[in-house]
Amino acid sequence: MRGGVRRRGAAALAGAMVGAVLLATPGEAAVGPESGSVVEGGRAGTAPPDPAPGGPQRPYEPDVPGPANIDALSGEITRDGGTGKGVLVGFDRSSRAEPAGPPAAPRRFVFLFDRKLAFRPDAFPTCARKVAEAGGPEACPGDSQVGRGTSHLYPEGTADVYAFNTLHPNGTRGALVVIPANGTILELTWEKVTAPYRRLGYRWALDEIVPPSAVPPEQRVGTRRFELTWGATRRVGDRTVSFAWTSAQPGDGLRLGLWSEFVTGQVVLPQTRTELPPAAVRGARAS
């Protein structure tokens, strides 16, 4: 389990704060990249800083030789159909190796969310890792699923991806990403981002660690594409609750990012902007 040891530094307090309910109303509109000190990996030889250093610590592995990953990110934010402010937040990452071959395997991904996005993990049931390990996605409470996606394997093939709301044994809120096809279960924690990322317009992050395995890191293979959409709705009494919601207005630009670290030591930060679509008109016929 990764929840027992946390990265040191001034941001450690932020990690502890996320154990509380995420009810804060998102703030002002996101600002452009010129307002912060963060740069995309590879630009001027500068790696983007860790956005969530207060999160759990991955066991140390030395960097290994390997290809450079060329990553791109697109995103989509759509209405969840359950509440007026509820949304689905989609990440679509593609990766290729330079000069050729499979992409280097990841150590860690940090999903970065615009400050106008907020989440309600407290309003959804949780699924414990031991439950998912014993019975797969079907064993988790139905309303605990808060995401769905597809992993595109190298060189071909796909695998279904499921995300579940969870409460880690140390009391930290987070998620489980489950890929039944290869028995993978990854643990994520909710973290508040550091100041450089707040200046870019982010607030919350989901910090995902890919733990070491028996396979030597230079022999592990990354994915060529990974799609994951966060969001869900459920009924609580006589009302509907959204897992993800926004204070943005239709047409507002919302920023998404995916800080990524690989077994080669390479760090990249693909980012994207997407607009919030208009709310559905109540009673309108679907087209």
Number of folded domains in the chain?
Answer: 1
**Considering the domain boundaries, does residue 254 fall inside one?**
yes
Could you list the residue range(s) of the whole structural domain that residue 257 is in?
68-268
Query: Which ranges of the chain would DSSP assign to H, the alpha helix?
Result: 12-17, 129-135, 195-200
**Considering the domain boundaries, does residue 280 fall inside one?**
no
Question: Does 16 have pLDDT greater than 90?
Answer: no
> What is the arithmetic mean of pLDDT over 49-77?
97
**Considering the domain boundaries, does residue 197 fall inside one?**
yes
Summarised one tens digit per residue, pLDDT across range 21-60 is 343 333 332 323 333 345 554 444 689 999 999 999 999 9
Summarised one tens digit per residue, pLDDT across range 207-234 is 999 999 999 999 999 999 999 999 999 9
Query: Can you give the pLDDT at residue 44?
Result: 42
Asked if residue 40 lies in contact with residue 200, where contact means CB atoms within 8 angstroms, the answer is no
**Considering the domain boundaries, does residue 273 fall inside one?**
no
- Nearest CA to 189 out of 9, 12, 10 is that of 12
> What is the arithmetic mean of pLDDT over 194-218?
97
Query: CA triplet 5, 163, 28: central angle to 5 degrees?
Result: 80
Q: pLDDT above 90 covers what percent of the chain?
A: 80
Q: Supply the mean pLDDT for the chain.
A: 86
Asked if residue 103 lies in contact with residue 223, where contact means CB atoms within 8 angstroms, the answer is yes
Query: Can you give the pLDDT at residue 45?
Result: 61
Query: Can you give the pLDDT at residue 18?
Result: 33
At residue 77 the predicted structure's pLDDT band, cuts being 50, 70 and 90, is very high
Summarised one tens digit per residue, pLDDT across range 132-189 is 999 999 999 989 999 999 999 999 999 999 999 999 999 999 999 999 999 999 999 9
Q: What are phi and psi of 77, to 5 degrees?
A: -120, 120
**Considering the domain boundaries, does residue 46 fall inside one?**
no
CATH number of the domain bearing residue 205: 2.60.40
Query: Can you give the pLDDT at residue 43?
Result: 43
Q: How many CB atoms lie within 10 A of CB 138?
A: 9
Query: Can you give the pLDDT at residue 166?
Result: 98
With 0.75 as the threshold, say if the pTM is over it: yes
Query: CA triplet 219, 103, 155: central angle to 5 degrees?
Result: 90
Beta strands in the chain (DSSP E): 68-79, 87-98, 106-114, 117-119, 145-152, 158-167, 173-179, 184-192, 202-209, 225-230, 233-236, 239-242, 244-246, 253-262, 267-268, 271-275
Asked if residue 174 lies in contact with residue 128, where contact means CB atoms within 8 angstroms, the answer is no
Q: How many CB atoms lie within 10 A of CB 154?
A: 16
Query: Can you give the pLDDT at residue 284?
Result: 34
**Considering the domain boundaries, does residue 157 fall inside one?**
yes
Residue with the two structure tokens 């919302």: 254
- Report DSSP letters for 83-95, one per residue: SSSBEEEEEEEEE
**CB-neighbour burial class of residue 47 (10 A; exposed 0-12, middle 13-18, buried 19+):** middle
**Considering the domain boundaries, does residue 18 fall inside one?**
no
**Considering the domain boundaries, does residue 12 fall inside one?**
no
